[in-house]
Structure 1
Amino acid sequence: MRILLAAALLFVGASALAQQPPAKTMTASQDTFLKDFAETRRFMSGRPVNPRITPDEKTVLFLRGQPRAPVQTLFAFDVASGETKELLTPEAILKGGEETLTAEEKARRERMRVSSRGFTSYQLSEDGERILVSLSGKLYVVERSTGKSLALNTGAGVIDPRFSLDGKQVAYVRDHDVFRIDLATNKEHRVTSGGTAKKTHGLAEFVAQEEMSRFSGWWWSPDAKLIAYTESDTSGVENLSIVDVMHPERGAEDYAYPRPGKNNAKVRLGITPVTGGKTVWVQWDAEQYPYLATVDWPKAGSLTVLVQNRTQTEQKLLAVDTATGKTRELLTEKDEAWIDLEQTFPKWLESGQGFLWYTERNGGPEVELRNADGSLARSLVKPEAGFRGLARYSEKDGTLYFVGGPNPSESYLWRVKDGGAPEVVRPGTTGPAVETGSVSKSGGLAVVTHASPTSMPRTYVARADGTRVGELPSVAVEPGFTPVVEYREVGPLKFQSSLVRPRNMKPGQKLPVIVEVYAGPTVTVVHKSMAPHLLSQWMADQGFLIARFDGRGTPLRGSKWQRAVHLDFSGVTLEDQVAAVQALAAQVPEVDLQRVGIEGWSFGGYMSALAALKRPDFFKAAVAGAPVVDWLDYDTHYTERYLGLPQQHPEAYEKSSLLTHARDTSKGISPLLLMHGTADDNVYFFHTLKLSDALFRAGKPHQLLPLSGLTHMVPDPLVTQRQYEWVMNHFKQHLAK
């Protein structure tokens, strides 16, 4: 097991440890909050997650951890009585044993951003009678009527298990091949053969998991007689190695990681009988469309695949003849910049007479109803509605439920009938909020998770008309305060913004500003929700104004707004953060424009380092966590989507690279603290080392904090606590008077 502690602080350049001022101390209550914040996983551990409505609408299943331990247990909420009972615990299955995971499962959870333990997911059979859970790479089926659990006779290291549609079989991946087990006999059968670490069968390759949100590499046929599976050949992909720096004697772990302009995994889709036999390979122009983005094998309708070209400016939806592997085109999407992939689509109707389709060709997210041949029937959700996720479509009455809304800082469950005006579905809640929801198959019951600027997430069970039935119980620790957040639109471009002040602030008092930034093309940071601002309030109470802005390049404000970063990550992204702070100062006189800092992680880390290098005149201090330093070193599917192929657009990579700005001796650098997990297999640690080296050679002092053994996530409570202590000490040193 890797050590999960910060290893060391290295001062590079002119600074020396003895010259540093003593760390500024926090109050006892601030210390207590940070400890609680870290140990409770941001006060989220112990709240219901992954709710699922049974087909009869009598029960809502969900997972829930402990208040200070993310070991999740399976629960059932009875709709009629409102009572909740515990169905299954990891302890009952392991009987005191230790939970263990294979390297493949650890990597898969990292891609899915899962840091919890115990039951991290579960599946409900189509009839709702059986529940499938995985623990320590082994499978268990729970009979809901009796509560009895059956340990399936599989080998160890099972990945991605799922019921067949009739609920009589379970298939999964083990040892790089697909297997199935007949529940009646509890006997395992091999489905595919010949899979290896370099040529896997049934596993999604790295970019599919990390960037396409396709976490599976195999699919049941509706009649459970066939299985479609991917063969992912990574033999031609460059390998990158990670060494546990605290234990070099353990050697390195190699990962197939495709960098821009270099080889991707070669992926093809095969169809084989579950009893074994010859594989029929699906045929499409893989040279022109190398990415297998989505596979859907519906109960009725065609086995369907979505394939993309390398730069993701064109994609084709193809129907597959399962007997021959031949395909026919259903539709083609094109975009001059890029196409955003929505993994939920196509969504075939129960009747098989058509499917739902997602497009942005009309300037924003739109959901269409397509006929079975791919032709357009009608638009169901218009671009201005703010669609963000499908909750359910009822074919019988033409009602579509979705999550989203026109305000990018808010989100609700909506219903729209036959393409008409959307109506919000709220379970007795009022005021601005961020809500997510799902709807039962028959459309009679909904589960809505509600969070507002003054409340942590609460999950309600409601009728489809919004009438509340009950609430899934939480055992989470509640924060000791409610953040005081101000939301406004700032500047001519009306940037969404949030501002948190110290709770004891004196009116008119000038204070330094810390900008919490992401600014990338997949995430917004301004949400009308309490949870994201808890740490912001803790930071503000130490004598700062904490601000967030969503500028051009971020989603939810239309295609043109998001595509402003095409072929350049270093332009409007940073310009808009500067303009937003200046616009905020015009409205809030307490903003001290002479003391502005910035901090972020991942793309936000890139932005923070960019600000320190490109605009040291404006940003007087920066903290950059896990930054992408050179986009030539990030993965293909993400990077080439926005910056194109490096062979075609070398200038895009040059101006977007932090190394370009680090080597520019005509500009100085703001006080910069770099922090990065040494075991990060998403943004590799060598990114930060490359930046540190370039800064050192350019004579630009900075600080580097390696987080030993940490990946791109930081789930260890002690590391989280120490991390933010370092962040605040950095800003107190360089921004406070």
Structure 2
Amino acid sequence: MSFPRQQARTQRFTIGVPRSFEISPDGRRIAFLRGRDGVDTATCLWVYDADDGTERVVADPRALGADDENLPPEERARRERLRESGGGIVAYTVDRDFTRAVFALSGRLFCVDLADGGADPRELPATAPVVDPRIDAGGRRIAYVSGGALRVIGADGRGDRVLASPDAENVTWGLADFVAAEEMGRYRGFWWAPDGSAVLAARVDESPVARWYVDDPAAPEQEPTAMRYPAAGTDNPEVRLAVLSADGSDPDPVWVEWDREELPYLATAGWKAGPEGAASVVFTAQSRDQRTLTLFKADPATGRGEAVRTERDGVWVELMPGVPSWTASGELVWIGRENGAGERRVYVGDTPVSPPGVYVRGVVDVDGDRVLYSASPEDGPADVSLWLATRDGERSGPVEVPGHGCSKGTDSGAHSGLRSGRLRGDTLVVQHRSTDFPGVRTLVMRDGESGVHSEYGTIESLAESPDLPELRVETWRAGERRIPCALVLPSWYRGDGQRLPVLMAPYGGPHAQRVLNTRGAFLSAQWYAEQGFAVLIADGRGTPGIGVEWEQAVHLDLATAVLEDQVAALEDAAHRFGFLDTSRVGIHGWSFGGYLAALAVLRRPDVFHAAVAGAPVIDWRLYDTHYTERYLGTPQEQPEAYERSSLLADAAKLERPLMMIHGLSDDNVVFAHTQRMSSALLAAGRRHTVLPLSGVTHSPSDPTVSENLLLLQVEFLKNSLRVEA
């Protein structure tokens, strides 16, 4: 089977990889999601027994009549924001004692016992369609969203009723708004109180947001899909928080109050447990210019709140994953910069617990008074490890993961993990990726008497292995700015005076890193290399992994520094590797990478000779508020920044082959970007290629479409760069 087909039908080799772990309080059982093999899109819910290493399916969507073609629109939108391309059971929640789990299938609600020998999953008579069901900690009630209303039903299937329903058109309860889910990493819209007595819920009013239409010309008989899209400089939805009584004893919501005019973005929300069962509402709110982020604590009985901590930055405050959190003793776990300067540190209270020089990526979990966080070592952006820290500094450093024959040692590779939220058991699940072995290794680890995680089992990955030659990749730091780079060569290349055309394959923008010490990062690049290219990947300024100053170098200009670093990386690579043919340089990318590819041939045709731009952002005025305004401000206040970063005015400069690919149903980077660029190129008399994808959103998921896209791109690049078969 060809690699393009295999990659498409395995969803980039992610099917069959275990994910979404939950650990029982004693650490002996672990729930997770996984298909039955490497092409099975009907994801099942499994339980792993750490004592004997056995695995069993507790819920199979096929046995329950799942229909992924018949999903509620709210669920489709939620999956699109999550970039969730799988089917079956894609999310679930468990109660505190790990006795039962709940999940939705095709808009229906299911509950399953997790105990050994538990009964088959049972469907509960909830009001359809069911979206995002979540069980309370005590396992008594399940809250969910249906038709824009927040509802609750007993775990025994009784008492289905409304907690809050829309009081006006364009109002929803319990759902994350577009920019929260797309840009802030907040995919939820309601949160159970620790004792299950109340639900904290978001009320979203999209009335102020402009109405856009996502059309599909291939289906003229269908009405265009209407959506509310908050483009840069336009109105956002109005988001409020309220505390709702779960048992109906108080029908009136308690509104949580803060200065929503000054801090309109609701970044995170939840609860903080207190002494003797008391709990407080906690949330973070961010200013429109994103230079201020404040953590609030509020009384759930009155809604009155107070600021706990405020983070400020003259450029922007980054929203960091996993915070706020709290230790068992009640101290705040936070990621911030000291007085708005320097690199980010992990704090417990006012004490930094991550060492200086470490690039902090996020807090993974807090167990008692220990903090598990994700970080890269100083000057090592390609490696991502789990670090464990304690308030007293007794233990602080990377979690030692068995190397399994890794030539680069236990610290090499990218790791992710989840630590049990209980003091007992002390179980840690770590997923390990590396260039030294294919796929993902999932290790179940326990603390020994020495305090070092040493005992472990494995949860098997059923993902297919790529049908590719051995990776041939070299990484280094390029030029004065020490740009992280990787060069991928054909397995068959032996030199002999033959010069290879270069294909640059960047993302190049915020929040995405391509140069990582994992095989999965280079699979597509290796396939392109086998077609006759030397594939060069560079993470320039704006990308994560280096530091705050590096990330903020794109402020008020998303084009100049980003493009300069791709050129600098190419020049450095050409100097190091004399066999690179810089008279034949192509570039391809998707989303921000598509923007960068088009930018490259438009503004530096002396360097780049052909480009494939997938779902490119062309005019930043058409992209959403939270992302775009973080970097460019608003179009009203910073018109020059938008002009510098837009590509429309460059249309007349095109003199190299350019292919643009775009899904007609894309609701993230809408097709209007490519349409307007094509119109501008046509008006300037510039030849170009447009490949519209009917029914496709931001990321193609249909295996046939995905396979053919790879083949068409490589054919276009070969023809444009005169690459022999």
Give the TM-score range, shorter chain: over 0.9
SS at match of 2:353: strand
Q: Which residue number in structure 2 is paired with residue 534 of structure 1?
A: 523
**What amino acid does structure 2 have at the position aligned with 1:472?**
I
Deviation at 1:711, TM superposition (A): 0.2
Which of 213, 226, 233 is 1:261 aligned to?
233
Corresponding residue of 2:348: 369
Output one character per residue of 1:121-159: Cα deviation in whole Å (capped at 9) or x when no partner. Answer: 111111111111211111111112242222111011111
Kindly indicate whether the alpha-carbon contact (under 8 Å) linking 2:440 and 2:461 is maintained by their aligned counterparts in 1: no
Worse overlay, 491-500 or 222-231: 222-231
Q: Residue 473 of structure 1: which of 446, 453, 460 is its match?
A: 460
Pairing partner for 2:606 from 599, 617, 625: 617
Alignment partner of 1:445 out of 417, 421, 427: 427
Q: Equivalents in 1 of 2:663, 2:610: separation in Å?
A: 21
Give the CA deviation at 1:427: 3.0
Trace 1:331-730 onto structure 2 (pairs within 5 A): 331-351=309-329, 353-360=330-337, 361-370=340-349, 376=350, 378-395=351-368, 398-406=369-377, 407-417=380-390, 418-419=392-393, 421-429=396-404, 430=406, 431=408, 432-441=412-421, 442=423, 444-455=426-437, 456-464=439-447, 465-480=452-467, 481-507=469-495, 508-662=497-651, 665=652, 667-730=653-716
Shift of the 309–208 alpha-carbon distance from structure 1 to 2, 3 Å rule, reads same
* C-alpha separation in 2, matches of 1:305 and 1:84: 38
In structure 2, the CA distance between the partners of 1:196 and 1:39, relative to structure 1 (3 Å rule), is farther
State the percentage of identical aligned residues. 38
185 and 514 in structure 1: CA distance in 2 versus 1, 3 angstrom threshold: closer
Whole-angstrom CA distance in 1 between matches of 2:530 and 2:505:
15
Q: 1:488 to 1:520 in 2, by over 3 A?
A: same
Structure 2 Cα separation of the partners of residues 67 and 259 of structure 1: 39
2:616 match: secondary structure: coil
Please state how far the C-alpha of 1:187 moved relative to its aligned partner. 2.5
**Matching residue within 24, 33, 36 for 1:63:** 33
Quote the offset at 1:193 in angstroms.
2.6
Secondary structure in 1 matching 2:627: helix
Write the distance in 2 (CA, Å) between the matches of 1:288 and 1:362: 23
- Equivalent residues in 2 for 1:320-339 (5 A)? 320-339=298-317
Q: 1:324 to 1:64 in 2, by over 3 A?
A: same
Q: CA 1:99/1:736 → structure 2, altered by over 3 Å: closer, same or farther?
A: closer
State the one-letter code of the partner of 1:110. E
What residue number does 2:109 align with? 139
596-605 vs 272-281, which moves further:
272-281
Q: Does the CA contact (< 8 Å) of 2:126 and 2:157 recur in 1?
A: no
AA at the equivalent of 1:437: G
Letter in 1 for 2:714: M
Q: Distance in 1 between matches of 2:718 and 2:234?
A: 43
Aligned residue runs from structure 1 range 21-420, under 5 A: 32-65=2-35, 66-94=37-65, 100-145=70-115, 146-148=117-119, 149-184=121-156, 186-195=158-167, 198-274=170-246, 275=248, 277-300=251-274, 302-351=280-329, 353-360=330-337, 361-370=340-349, 376=350, 378-395=351-368, 398-406=369-377, 407-417=380-390, 418-419=392-393
CA contact (8 A) 1:482 1:530 kept: no
Q: Conserved in 2, the CA contact under 8 Å of 1:75 and 1:85? A: yes
After superposition, the C-alpha distances for 1:90-137 in whole angstroms (9 at most, x for unaligned) are 02211x867621111101100011010000011111111111121111
C-alpha distance 671-188 of structure 1, shift in aligned 2 (>3 A): same
1:195 Cα offset (Å): 4.5
Gaps (5+ residues) in structure 2? Answer: none
Deviation at 1:69, TM superposition (A): 3.0
Poorly superposed stretches of 4+, deviation over 4 Å = 96-99
C-alpha distance in structure 1 between counterparts of 2:655 and 2:316, whole Å: 34
**Shift in alpha-carbon separation, 1:423–1:722, aligned structure 2, 3 A:** closer
Paired AA for residue 539 in structure 1? Y
TM-score by structure 2 length?
A: 0.93
TM-fit CA distance, 1:514: 0.5
Aligned equivalents of 1:212, 1:315: Cα separation in 2:
12
Q: Secondary structure at the match of 1:319?
A: strand
How many angstroms does 1:676 deviate by? 0.4
Instruction: Name the SS of the counterpart of 2:230 in structure 1.
Output: coil
The residue matched to 1:499 in structure 2 has which SS? strand
1:57 and 1:98 map into 2 onto residues whose CA distance is 33
**AA in 2 matched with 1:425:** E
CA deviation after TM superposition for structure 1 residue 530, in Å: 0.7
| Per-residue deviation, 1:60 | 1.7
The superposition leaves residues 544-577 of structure 1 with CA deviations (integer Å, 9 ceiling, x where unpaired) of: 1001001111112111111000000011000000
Q: Which amino acid aligns with 1:283?
A: E
Amino acid corresponding to residue 686 of structure 1 in structure 2: A
TM-aligned CA deviation for residue 587 of structure 1: 0.8
Whole-angstrom CA distance in 2 between matches of 1:37 and 1:209 = 27
**Aligned residues: CA RMSD:** 1.7
Q: Distance in 2 between matches of 1:99 and 1:542?
A: 36
| Structure 1, 56-65 or 476-485: larger mean CA deviation | 476-485
Q: Are the aligned partners of 1:214 and 1:343 in contact in 2 as well (CA < 8 Å)?
A: no
More moved, 519-528 vs 301-310: 301-310
Distance 1:203 1:557, change over 3 A: same
- Matched residues in 2 for 1:579 and 1:337: separation? 25
Q: Report the CA distance between 1:185 and its aligned residue.
A: 5.2
2: CA distance between counterparts of 1:489 and 1:687? 34
Secondary structure (helix, strand or coil) at the match of 1:593 reads strand
Could you tell which deviates more after superposition, 111-120 or 480-489? Answer: 480-489
Contact 2:367–2:419 (CA under 8 A) maintained in structure 1: no
Q: Distance in 1 between matches of 2:356 and 2:308?
A: 22
Change (3 A) 1:383 1:160: farther
Q: CA deviation at 1:332?
A: 1.3
Give the match's secondary structure for 1:595. strand
Equivalent pair of 2:472/2:489 in contact (CA under 8 Å): yes
Q: Deviation at 1:528?
A: 0.9
Q: CA deviation at 1:350?
A: 3.1
3-state SS in 2 of match to 1:690? helix
What displacement does 1:244 show? 2.3
Amino acid in the other structure paired with 1:519: G
Instruction: Quote the Cα distance in structure 2 between the aligned partners of 1:485 and 1:379.
Output: 37
